[in-house]
Amino acid sequence: MMKTTPPVNFEENGIKYRITATYGIDYEFGRKHNHAPGFSLTCTIDRLSGRRWVDHGGGWSPKSITKHFPDLSPLIQWHLVSTEEPLHYLANAGYWMDFINGVYKVKPECNGNPLEAFKATIVWGAIPGDTDRELAKMVACDRAHMADMLRNRLPALMERFRSVMEYWGVME
């Protein structure tokens, strides 16, 4: 179930804007495309041009969402988690792990911090047991062991996901 916030008006550098946030589990999209429905949290930003509002941007913008909808901040970590698992859970974790361990030399598109990208990919910190020590063990091992650790963690992660989604009223 998708929900949209009421618009919030704001001004920057003398320009007037309005922002709305849309969040929830898109069951309709999942059914239409024959895959597990996923959670998203995005925004739409409009700019006042004369007497009408025109599209200014939006999409996945955690900074804008946090700034204008701080009550939605706890949901940011769940963006792109489906009812089965985070998007490309093992593949994306392996990708970022390779950057952390120096397999790739090209600077990744993650503001230069592959560890933070790895943590976001696996929704690190969402469940008890997500400690710095466990994270260090995970990124220090080989890919197969890391995948096993993530598979073992997945049931608790998904239980937490369901609990949070039910609390926010977006679960069918």
Residue 51 corresponds to which amino acid? R
Q: Same domain for 68 and 116?
A: no
| Residue 62 to residue 39: CA distance in whole angstroms | 14
- Region 71-87: what's the mean pLDDT? 95
29 or 159: whose pLDDT is higher? 159
- Region 1-10: what's the mean pLDDT? 96
Q: Same domain for 6 and 39?
A: yes
Q: Does the predicted model carry a pTM greater than 0.85?
A: yes
Q: How many domains does the chain have?
A: 2
The whole-number pLDDT of residue 108 equals: 63
Residue 172: inside a domain, yes or no? Answer: no
The whole-number pLDDT of residue 114 equals: 85
Domain of residue 127: give its range: 89-166
90-149 residue pLDDT tens: 999 998 898 888 887 766 666 678 888 899 999 999 999 899 999 999 988 888 999 999
Residue 84: inside a domain, yes or no? Answer: no
Instruction: Return the SS3 of 29.
Output: helix
The C-alpha torsion from 160 through 88 and 38 to 76, rounded to 10°, is: 60
24-36 residue pLDDT tens: 999 988 889 988 9
Percent of the chain with pLDDT over 90: 76
Tell me the pLDDT of the chain averaged across its residues.
92
Task: Give the chain's count of helices (H) and strands (E).
Answer: 6, 5
46-74 residue pLDDT tens: 999 999 999 999 999 999 999 999 999 99
Q: Same domain for 8 and 66?
A: yes
The whole-number pLDDT of residue 144 equals: 93
**Final residue before a domain boundary, out of 23, 45, 78:** 78
Q: Same domain for 56 and 114?
A: no
| Helix (H) or strand (E) segment spanning residue 9 | strand 8-12
Task: Name residues whose C-beta falls within 8 Å of residue 56's C-beta, 6 or more positions apart in sequence.
Answer: 17, 45, 46, 47
Instruction: Return the SS3 of 49.
Output: strand
